[in-house]
Amino acid sequence: MKSRWDDLALLLAVVDAGGFTAAAERLGTSTARLSRAVSRLERQLDTTLVQRTTRRLDVTEEGASFIAQARQALDTLEAAEEALTVRRREPAGRLRVDAATPFLLHQIVPHLAAFHAAYPKVRLELTTHETNIDLIEQRTDIAIRIGRLEDSSLHARPLGHSRRRLVASPDYLARHGTPATAEALSAHVLLGFTHLPQLNRWPLRGGCSVTPTLASSSGEALLRMAEAGLGIACLADFLTRDACQAGRLSFVLEDAMLERYEPIQAVYYRNTALEGRIAAFLDFLAGRLTL
């Protein structure tokens, strides 16, 4: 049974060649086969797509509209088939991945052994930056970014969302008391960021912009400071989950918190040579994130 996709491809070949005879010569087939394919489509659509004469081929108005959409559909199908083929090949070669230190340590490093076992020919190079980088300048293939994206020239794959919450160690709260309201935070030691002012706007009802008593450019450093009982921090769940479950940190002002989730996305430039490696890494990682 003839596929409609095959008939569409033959129709486009006829149109592009300017006639049945020229198309048959290009494809190494018969004009009768091409004519049957076009006729099948016309019967199925109940419309005339091309006007046949002995000297020329004219596309009808309905045919021109249909052919434009058919060409787009075939291009999409070919791209999907190519992507599938690339994914089926065993990924191999170097893959450079960049992420903020906390995400790298808590969401990527724990799965490296399993990834290497699954894709032994992929050579991962991991780098950390606490702010967004230029992928080309830093020779990076994938960057994990947290928050709203602004660079539209990059392809983005959503990985999930993570909520930020206030945390402190039980020891700190025992020594300084647990704040009952957002206003009470002014009497406490607050841990915040040096170069990311948007992360010093804590998601509390009514709004809360803090001036940190102790600050760092690294979320990982702030996590360690909070665990050491130095103050109250506002950090992502993916960073604090283990410490909270182990009792090293406790949530603060839970009832006053907004349920605000930050998007986490992988960004990269489209590159056919790297597509298999990128797809393998992101498919693998997506199923293991604990955000």
* The total number of structural domains that make up the chain: 3
Report the C-alpha gap between 145 and 98 in whole angstroms.
9
Give the other-Cβ count within 10 Å of 6's Cβ. 11
pLDDT top residue among 153 and 261 = 261
**Nearest by Cα to 112 from 95, 129, 130:** 95
Mean predicted confidence (pLDDT) in 236-259: 96
Co-location of 227 and 114 in the same domain: no
> What is the number of helices (H) and of strands (E) in the chain?
10, 13
Do residues 238 and 255 both lie within one domain? yes
pLDDT at 28 over 90: no
- State mean pLDDT over 216-230: 96
Domain span holding position 250: 162-262
| Comparison of pLDDT for 33 and 80, the residue scoring more | 33
Average pLDDT over all residues of the chain: 89
Q: Is the pLDDT of residue 24 over 50?
A: yes
Is 47 contained in some domain? yes
Domain boundary, last residue among 88, 105, 130:
88
Q: Please report which helix (H) or strand (E) contains residue 58, including its range.
A: strand 57-59
Q: How much is the pTM?
A: 0.68
pLDDT band at 83 (very low <50, low <70, confident <90, very high): low
Query: Is the pLDDT at 80 greater than 80, yes or no?
Result: no
pLDDT bracket for residue 84 (50, 70, 90): low
Residues 166 and 242 in one domain: yes
User: Can you read off the two tokens belonging to residue 205?
Assistant: 């009802």
pLDDT tens-digit series, residues 273-289: 688 899 999 999 998 99
Answer yes or no: is 207 within a domain: yes
For residue 1, what pLDDT band results from cuts at 50, 70 and 90? very low
Is the domain of 109 the same as that of 237?
no
Neighbours of 272 (CB within 10 A): 9
Q: Does one domain contain both 168 and 192?
A: yes
Choose between 87 and 40: higher pLDDT. 40
Buried-exposed string 10-47: b where 16+ CB fall within 10 A, e elsewhere: bbebbbebebbeebbeeeeeeeeebeebbebbbeeeee
Query: Residue 291: inside a domain, yes or no?
Result: no
Residue 139 belongs to a domain with what CATH number? Answer: 3.40.190.10
